Amino acid sequence: MLTGIYNLIIGIVSPILIGWVFIRPLFKDDDGKNLLAQISYSFLSGYGITNIIFTTIIISGHGFNKNIAYLIMIIAVTHFIMQIRKYSWTFIINVFKSVYTFLTKNKIILISLLVIMSVIIFSANWPVRDWDSIALYDFRAKIFADGKRIEDLKQVINDNYYYRYYFVYPYMTSFAHAWTYVFGATTPMPLYAGFYMTIILLLISYAIKYERHSKQKSLIERIIYYSLPILAVLTPQIISHANIAYTNLPYSAYFLAALILVINSDVNNIQENKYFVRNLLCSFLMLSSAILTRFTEPFYISILVLVIYQSIIHRKYIYGIVYILGIYAIRQIWMRYAIFGDELSMKAIPSVLANFNISFFIEVEKFLISHYLVSITTPVFIMAMFALFNFVKSKKINLNFLIFWIINIGVLFLGGFFFAARNETWKDIGGSAERMVMVFIPVFYFWSIYLFSKSRSHEDRD
């Protein structure tokens, strides 16, 4: 039992303390009002910051340094102690009382949190399993925890095809595993329960925020707002990955977090406009971390376009430009370090177009649709209902929503065809395609919450 508790502290609590060093100054004007979001962004920032630090170290030719890990942890704990000393015991007790009162009044949220706790507790002693988890992510972690680099294995792995396997995905989850091993945890699996936790807390946090902004509150409205997060909690694809050491769930959490921060600034709301730069800075860390977790799927393009759109609206053009250039630079640095050949090169597009065949195109798209819909049919239907409801109320399609989905639908189907046109084994990727679109499941539910809040705001004005 004590070992399991220690695993939870290292896998979940320690990144929260590290991330809080970054998040705390950003949320200082929003103290206590968005506690669930602060916990989520602290956790995500913790692993995001350590990943960037250790990726930089590895790329520069050095090994995973345990002393740096210890130093990061010392800074985080010291910062937490210094900050917590500012609050009296009366204040802390009142915070717990207010949380307890809120949960007893909102049973759906309480159920969601109980599900999260059960997943976290279950992960406390759960071992790493599944092929890529053991052979790739966890194997790399043990190499790093021993102070070595993958490049040190070059003489052992003579076949270049197998050698490059270890660079298929960036090091984020492997660094996270290595972090837990360095501090003596027996399993890294709690960190995946932590990413599961962040997704749900973010959805709950913004459901609370949008519900509180509504002027005409009703029981049915509260049920709608707070039932959407629990639907995400219970989605089989999401909950199953909470105990699988794959990159899909961490990537989903970072992508959702980056998206929320970009579209959550309403130019007509003075308070939200005030936080635009803060949101953009935090979103940049989230999207950078997403790319340094899974960088082959170009879904990040949709967020970059939304950043351009929001920067124009807020007339903060330089921030949007810096955001985009920064993301481009991070992606290019990783590609130059780890990628072999021209699999991701735009130079191959002319050859694909020159050999375009309409029958083959239709065959590929049918195949993609059949596998995409395996994972997302229900959340797509739910989001479509809220999109229709919002359209009926506002008589227009939300531009943020339209931009995001036009780009990602194009990426899913045109990108899928581009892959199939260059790989004879494209029919073997069915399972990968199903896991790939998992990133959109929490996004569907967030858009549902967002569109419902917009439709309610139109009713309030009417």
Helix or strand or coil: residue 156? coil
Measuring CA to CA, how many Å separate 168 from each of 22, 67, 163, 447?
A: 29, 28, 10, 31
Contact 59, 167 (CB under 8 A): no
**Nearest-angstrom CA–CA distance, 263 and 77:** 33
Closest by CA position to 261, among listed 301, 307, 292, 229: 307
Residue 426 has a pLDDT of 84
Residue 268 has a pLDDT of 46
Number of CB atoms found within 10 A of residue 394's CB: 16
Contact 138, 257 (CB under 8 A): no
Radius of gyration in angstroms for the set of CA atoms belonging to the chain, rounded to a whole number: 22
Query: Over the stretch 163-187, which tens digit does the pLDDT of each residue have?
Result: 888 988 999 999 999 999 999 999 9
**Nearest-angstrom CA–CA distance, 256 and 445:** 10
Residue 216 has a pLDDT of 66
Amino acid at 310: Q
Query: Over the stretch 211-262, which tens digit does the pLDDT of each residue have?
Result: 777 666 677 888 888 899 989 988 999 999 999 999 999 999 999 999 999 9
**Nearest-angstrom CA–CA distance, 328 and 273:** 26
Closest by CA position to 247, among listed 192, 203, 199: 192
Positions of the chain with pLDDT under 70: 29-33, 214-217, 265-274, 339-348, 457-462
Domains contained in the chain, number: 1
Contact 52, 21 (CB under 8 A): no
**Nearest-angstrom CA–CA distance, 175 and 372:** 30
Measuring CA to CA, how many Å separate 165 from each of 157, 241, 335?
A: 11, 22, 14
Q: What backbone phi and psi angles, to 5 degrees, belong to 294?
A: -140, 110
Residue 425 has a pLDDT of 81
**Nearest-angstrom CA–CA distance, 276 and 256:** 17
Residue 215 has a pLDDT of 65
Q: Which domain holds residue 418?
A: 2-461
**Nearest-angstrom CA–CA distance, 267 and 316:** 12
